[in-house]
Amino acid sequence: MAGTLTQALPYTSLAVVAALIGGVIAVYRAPGPQMESNVQHLAAGVVFAAVAAELLPDIHDKSPTVVVAGFATGVVAMLGIHQLSKTIEKRGVGGNLAGAAGLIITIAIDMLIDGVLIAVTFIEETATGIIIALALAIEVLFLGVAAVVALPEDMGNARKVAVPATFGVLLIIGVTVGVLTLEGAAQATIAFVLAFGAAALLYLVTEELLVKAGKVPQTPVSTTLFFLGFLAIFMLDIIG
């Protein structure tokens, strides 16, 4: 158990650093719509490849019933989180943070889920865990930017950066809890969690990254970045 944590946490720290970098970039030089779209396309390609090359093969030979149950639960959970975000925004929860509260809570929950997913992949196979952690680091970079951009302009810079820093802490908590509770678990349980994680990441790509990126006119650069992100993770899997 301690060995798995020792392996997982250093790679998870890359995502923590990425979240902080994204927050600092957004504070001092927020990216324009086109640059943000480019980063979203890159992150989408990376996450898509991680799911296709790492998670789906790992659950391919598992019990179909368990895989379908995990996948369906993941979709329902993500739809529920999305609805929660909309409800928070409509009710103005958070006072002057109301505009960003829904997004921040959604990302916070996503960080816990991603942390557990990193833990499970390290439990299954270290190489898979490394690739998933690297892919999620790029995802978290974008989420750090998105969260800070959504915050009120008059909020202090230190408080703004504290938001992505909190995301990093939640990611580490997710990894730690995942390892402590799932190491040694039955294969059916591991398969369920992997299927759940695959659904959550695919939801992120289709309903968050690409949908938001599509609000900006697509360019050859953004399309190329999607495929470069996909190829980079796919080649990393082949080399590894």
> Residue ranges of the domains in the chain?
66-239
Q: Confidence class of residue 227 from pLDDT cuts 50, 70 and 90?
A: very high
Q: Are 208 and 80 in contact (CB under 8 A)?
A: no
- Distance separating alpha carbons of residues 30 and 17, to the nearest angstrom: 18
Token reading at 152 = 């009120």
* Cα angle: 92, vertex 93, 97; to 5 degrees: 85
**Which H helix or E strand runs over 49?**
helix 33-50
Contacts of the segment 31-35: beta carbons below 8 A, 24+ positions apart = 31/145, 33/215, 33/216, 34/216, 34/219, 34/222
Q: pLDDT at residue 18 above 70?
A: yes
Query: For position 92, what pLDDT does the model report?
Result: 64
When pLDDT is averaged across residues 134-155 and rounded to a whole number, the result is 86
pLDDT tens-digit series, residues 79-108: 998 888 788 777 766 555 655 777 788 888
Q: What is the largest CA-CA distance in the chain?
A: 53
3-state class (DSSP) for residue 151 = coil
pLDDT tens-digit series, residues 104-137: 888 888 899 999 999 999 998 898 899 999 988 9
Q: Are 55 and 198 in contact (CB under 8 A)?
A: yes
Token reading at 196 = 């759940």
- Distance separating alpha carbons of residues 183 and 51, to the nearest angstrom: 21
Contacts of the segment 182-189: beta carbons below 8 A, 24+ positions apart = 182/116, 182/119, 182/120, 182/123, 183/1, 183/4, 183/123, 184/1, 187/62, 188/62, 188/63, 188/66
| Residue (of 80, 47, 69) closest to 201 by Cα position | 47
Q: Are 152 and 96 in contact (CB under 8 A)?
A: yes
Least confident among 42-51, 181-190, 207-216: 207-216
Residues in the chain: 240
pTM of the model: 0.88
Instruction: Please give the mean pLDDT across all residues of the chain.
Output: 87
Token reading at 29 = 């030089």
Query: For position 96, what pLDDT does the model report?
Result: 55
